[in-house]
Homo-oligomer: A and B are copies of this chain.
Amino acid sequence: MATIPLHRVNVLTGIKGATILEDPGQFTKQIAKAKRPLLVLGPRLLEWSLDGKIVLEYALDIAKAANIPICATSHLKGKLTELGVTPDSVYDVVEIVNALKDPDWKGVKGEGNHDLVIFFGIRSDLQNQCLSVLKHFAFGHLKTMTLDKYYFPHADFSLNNIRKDKDWKAFLEDLTKSLQTKS
- Using CB atoms and an 8 Å cutoff, list the residues of chain A in contact with chain B: 1-4, 8, 11-15, 17-20
Q: What are 16 contact pairs spanning A and B, CB under 8 A?
A: A1-B2, A1-B3, A1-B17, A1-B18, A1-B19, A1-B20, A2-B2, A2-B3, A2-B12, A2-B17, A4-B15, A8-B15, A11-B14, A11-B15, A13-B13, A13-B14
Q: Chain B: which residue is nearest A13 at the CB level?
A: B13
CB distance from A157 to the nearest CB of B (A): 12
By a CB distance below 8 angstroms, the chain B residues around A19 are: 1
For residue A18, which residue of chain B has the nearest CB? B1
Residues from chain B with Cβ under 8 Å of A18 in the complex: 1
Extra pairs beyond A1-B2, A8-B15, A11-B15 (8, CB < 8 Å): A1-B17, A1-B18, A1-B19, A1-B20, A2-B2, A2-B17, A11-B14, A13-B13
- Of all chain B residues, which has the CB nearest A11? B15
**Most B Cβ at <10 Å: residue of A8, A14, A18, A20:** A14
| Complex Cα spacing A4 to B14, Å | 9
CA–CA, A18 and B8, complex, Å: 18
A8: B residues at CB distance < 8 A? 15
Question: CB-nearest residue of chain B relative to A20?
Answer: B1
Question: Which residue, A2, A3, A11, A12, has most C-beta atoms of chain B within 10 A?
Answer: A2
A17 CA to B13 CA, complexed, in Å: 12
C-alpha gap A11/B20 in the complex (Å): 19
CB-CB under 8 A from A2, the residues of chain B are: 1-3, 12, 17
The 4 closest A-B pairs by CB, nearest first: A2-B2, A13-B13, A2-B17, A1-B17
- Which B residues are in CB contact (< 8 Å) with A15? 4, 8, 11
Cα–Cα, bound, A46→B57 (Å): 65
